[in-house]
Chains A and B, each alone.
Chain A
């Protein structure tokens, strides 16, 4: 079942076409990777799909519903979660609280009951914390649950973001460079984590520079170059496509790589 479809997305900033006529779709339980050299428009595409930017052209469909131009909080309510390439962590909150915010839409939030902290609020808090701890366990951070997120290392913050995104119980998860700044062991963990997420039936869209990870986990790979789609296919098809190598290394480098 197709969860997320983006068709003919286009957006320009001051005459520069950051994303130009890009389309993709992803099914439940599948992993689509979007790769391309720096500046190819991957993060911009994510920002359009998650509602942070409004596209000049094109449509986004979530669960068959047209959600073009919807605000991020509305998309979140419809089941779209994401992480960020540049960390967007709540620094002054603990790791557990960060993930608890991720459950915001699953909680009943009523101002007066919160002000007087009715027993129902305390009960709900306990359940939310339990759920958050389970997710932190899943990303290997249970032990750090009550530390301030701002005091944790980069790799841990990346995983908090993933746990926070999962806390919303999304239908589709957009991961923007989850393995950036991680060592090979941590990258391996991300690999397993992404697979587990997909196995739960969540559609995953992954932007990543770590090619080993991309080739291992992806069902499909979409290659962007300067905002335009270059090719799309299985990891093998993409790897064997000379145009992809050329996009990364230039004509000269690609010839060198082919000879080597």
Chain B
């Protein structure tokens, strides 16, 4: 068995074990809720990492897809009479279709130009959500029907903990799968040298588009889960700040590292909760922690720490 296969299964087992064992130490339902938020954000970050970390293409508008997923499960049941799970699927299809349509022209752009184009896409989605108040409730947001499947209704923080945790494990499995396949290699190749990838026969435009669509579907599913878990949506979930937050999770944890995206999401969600003890200095400290980690761990937390550990083992 090659080494990377072992590494992949081990990562999944450890993640699943954490999801299963963590609640043993939870004193209140508040902890279930924070952990579920971590799993949802981590799921979106794992998807974005396929685009940013593997294929090397930035998206500063990713919350737009998150918003589409969130509003799909809000609008579907409320206005169209769809079941929540059907609305979730339709949201994912709409996100994929939008990513495909818009991705074709804008993924020709590189670097900062691509960043601005994706930012524009995100802003556009947020704008539509805010202005179409007849459907979306406008800036005030709207309530979301509970998820029900065959008469069973998903309510309560612990239920959502298990749903989001299970979905995260599944999403991580897929992201880990991808790395060592022709598709994953094509992503990573075009990240390092587009020209060499093309000469090797990689259809760069097609693979960039695939990565963009995959990341959009991840974000959309995360948005749907959060909306159903909260029972409420508002336009902030599709907003620019949320896009930046997702990018920060991926970069902080380590571009290209699946585990890194989960760690990055965990930090960005739990730190503000922990730092509330510092009251008015909360945001100052959060900013400082991010700056200091980026200075000392430029490749992100997980790649830096694992390199450090590997060095320790060898000596």
Query: A interface vs B, CB < 8 Å?
Result: 50, 52, 71-73, 76-77, 81-82, 84, 88-93, 97, 100-102, 104-105, 107-109, 111, 114-117, 121, 124-125, 128-129, 146, 161, 164-165, 168
Known: A72-B198, A76-B201, A105-B201. A93 touches B189 (CB 8 A): yes
Task: Decide: B198 and A121 in contact? CB cutoff 8 A.
Answer: no
Residues of chain A contacted by B191 (CB below 8 angstroms) = 90, 92
Chain A residues in 8 Å Cβ range of B188: 90, 92-93, 97
- The reply to whether A121 and B181 form a contact with Cβ atoms under 8 Å apart is yes
Inter-chain CA distance A216–B171, complex, in Å, is: 56
CB proximity of A53 to chain B, nearest CB, Å:
11
**Is residue B13 contacting chain A, with contact meaning CB distance below 8 A?**
no
Query: Does B185 contact A89, Cβ atoms closer than 8 Å?
Result: no
| Contact indicator B200/A71 (Cβ below 8 Å) | no
Q: Please name the residue on chain A nearest to B195 by beta carbon.
A: A88
Contact A73–B202 (Cβ < 8 Å)? yes
Cross-chain contact B198 with A73 (CB below 8 angstroms): yes
Which of A73, A129, A161 lies at the interface centre, i.e. has the most chain B CB atoms within 10 A of its CB? A73
A164 CA to B214 CA, complexed, in Å: 28
| Contact residues in B for A114 (Cβ distance below 8 Å) | 177-178, 181-184
Interface 0/1 of B160-195, CB less than 8 Å to A: 000000000000001001101111111011011101
Interface flag for B21 (CB, 8 Å): no
Of A101, A146, A165, which is within 8 A of B186 by CB?
A: A101
State whether A117 touches B189 (Cβ < 8 A): no
Contact present for B200 and A104 (CB under 8 Å): yes
CA of A161 to CA of B177, assembled, Å: 26
- B201 and A104 form a contact (CB under 8 A): yes
B203 at interface by CB-CB < 8 Å: yes
The distance in angstroms between the C-alpha atoms of A73 and B208, with both chains bound, is 15
In the bound assembly, the distance between CA atoms of A50 and B198 in angstroms comes to 10
Contact A101 B199 (CB under 8 A): no
Is the beta-carbon distance between A90 and B196 smaller than 8 angstroms?
yes
How many interface residues does B have (CB within 8 Å)? 30
Interface: B197 (CB within 8 A) = yes
Chain A residues with Cβ below 8 Å from B202 are 73, 101, 104
CB-CB under 8 A from B174, the residues of chain A are 115-116
What chain A residues lie within 8 Å of B182 (beta carbons)?
Answer: 104, 107-109, 114, 121, 124, 128
Q: 26 A–B contact pairs at CB < 8 A?
A: A73-B199, A76-B200, A76-B201, A77-B201, A81-B200, A84-B195, A88-B195, A88-B196, A89-B192, A89-B193, A90-B191, A90-B192, A93-B185, A101-B186, A104-B189, A104-B200, A114-B181, A114-B182, A114-B184, A115-B178, A116-B177, A121-B181, A121-B182, A124-B182, A125-B180, A161-B196
Nearest CB on A from B159, distance (A): 27
**Shortest CB–CB separation between residue A144 and chain B, in angstroms?**
15
Assembly CA distance A96 to B53 (angstroms): 20
B202 smallest CB distance to A (angstroms): 5
- Please give the distance in Å from A113's CB to the nearest CB on chain B: 8
Chain A residues with Cβ below 8 Å from B201 are 73, 76-77, 104-105, 168
Chain A residues with Cβ below 8 Å from B184 are 114
Contact in complex: A89, B196 (CB < 8 Å)? yes
CA A177 to CA B193, docked complex, whole Å: 19
